[in-house]
Amino acid sequence: MPSGVQMTAEDIARETIVVDGVGKTYGGGTHALTALTDVSFTVREGEFATLVGPSGCGKSTLLQILAGLVPASSGLVAIDGRMVTGPSPDKIGVMFQDAWLLPWKTAAENVEFPLVLRKVKPAERRKRALPLLELVGLASFADRYPDELSGGMRQRVAIARCLVQEPRVLLMDEPFAALDEQTRTRMGNELLQIWEKSGGTVVFVTHGLTEAIYLADTVFVMGTRPGRIIERIAVPLSRPRSIDMIGSESFGRLRNHIWHLIAEVRT
């Protein structure tokens, strides 16, 4: 979808995520700071899209706009044919760089927390939380507190919590950025398995080029000052992905291509 072209109602209904002409400006007058300008893209049902770019390109802001946590200054966002005007926890699960678990609740209680907010009965909550903890490999840690878990485990709990309301769209803001490389790769693979099983739609923000390509069907490369999308790349790798693909020539070429895109825009 080229930018500047008006979306029709039909377009909005067909795609799972529609972003059209989104801009974000902080402050006003001479101190106004433009974080995003004229961002337009679409993500179809079941697609795994990554947003990659240097720090300060507004990718986190864009994700928060998609999640309805921050309002856009201009343009529109529609998810599942509905305009995004605020958080919609039944449709969208959001993950951040920090797991943001409640330190006074156990792993299982943290997974249940979104259901507590919706006043779901305790027995029902437990019944929905436990299979998710099992899915992320933490069944035996259900009664542990966050400070007893490693960084990777905490993000696994966050994934389970994200899935507990059975959202069709996952928005992830550098969820594995704070983890060491081995854990990051393993978590990426686990995320892909979960995604393949559930068939949901994912938008994943990262500054890691390898991670961006490895996970995605489509990579959106973002440039900075002001933040915008500079290229949409369809990743030509087959599924399921395997670590060996990272060493392949086509992967390396793609990685170099993105590297140059980002480097050129910066200078």
Contact yes or no for 141/133 (Cβ under 8 A) = yes
In whole angstroms, the minimum distance from the beta carbon of 95 to other proteins comes to 9
Using the minimum distance from each CB to other proteins, give the nearer residue, 5 or 102: 102
Using the minimum distance from each CB to other proteins, give the nearer residue, 178 or 230: 178
Question: Applying CB under 8 A, does 160 fall inside the site for other proteins?
Answer: no
**Rg, Å, the chain Cα set:** 19
Question: Applying CB under 8 A, does 200 fall inside the site for other proteins?
Answer: no
Contact yes or no for 21/37 (Cβ under 8 A) = no
Using the minimum distance from each CB to other proteins, give the nearer residue, 149 or 215: 149
Q: 173, 143, 171, 139: which is closest to 156 by C-alpha?
A: 139
For residue 226, is the peptide bond before it cis, meaning its omega torsion is within 30 degrees of 0?
yes
In whole angstroms, the minimum distance from the beta carbon of 129 to other proteins comes to 13
Using the minimum distance from each CB to other proteins, give the nearer residue, 175 or 223: 175
Mark residues 62-81: x for contact with other proteins by CB under 8 A, - for none.
-----x-x------------
Mark residues 107-146: x for contact with other proteins by CB under 8 A, - for none.
------xx-xxx--------------------------xx
Question: Applying CB under 8 A, does 184 fall inside the site for other proteins?
Answer: no
From the list 24-32, 82-90, 227-235, 254-262, the region that binds other proteins by CB under 8 A is: 82-90
Residue 57 DSSP symbol: S
Total residues contacting other proteins by CB under 8 A comes to 25
Question: Applying CB under 8 A, does 161 fall inside the site for other proteins?
Answer: yes
Q: 220, 257, 250: which is closest to 236 by C-alpha?
A: 250
Question: Applying CB under 8 A, does 165 fall inside the site for other proteins?
Answer: yes
Tokens of 40: 């337009």
Using the minimum distance from each CB to other proteins, give the nearer residue, 66 or 209: 66
Question: Applying CB under 8 A, does 100 fall inside the site for other proteins?
Answer: yes
Place of tokens 């779901």: 120
Task: Write out 223-262 in H/E/C secondary structure.
Answer: ECCCEEEEEEEECCCCCCCCHHHHHCHHHHHHHHHHHHHH
For residues 219-255, one letter each, b for 16 or more C-beta atoms within 10 angstroms of the residue's C-beta and e for the rest, the string is bbbbbbebbbbbeebebebeeebeeeebeeeebeebb
List residues binding other proteins (CB under 8 A): 67, 69, 87-90, 92-94, 96, 98, 100, 102-104, 113-114, 116-118, 145-147, 161, 165
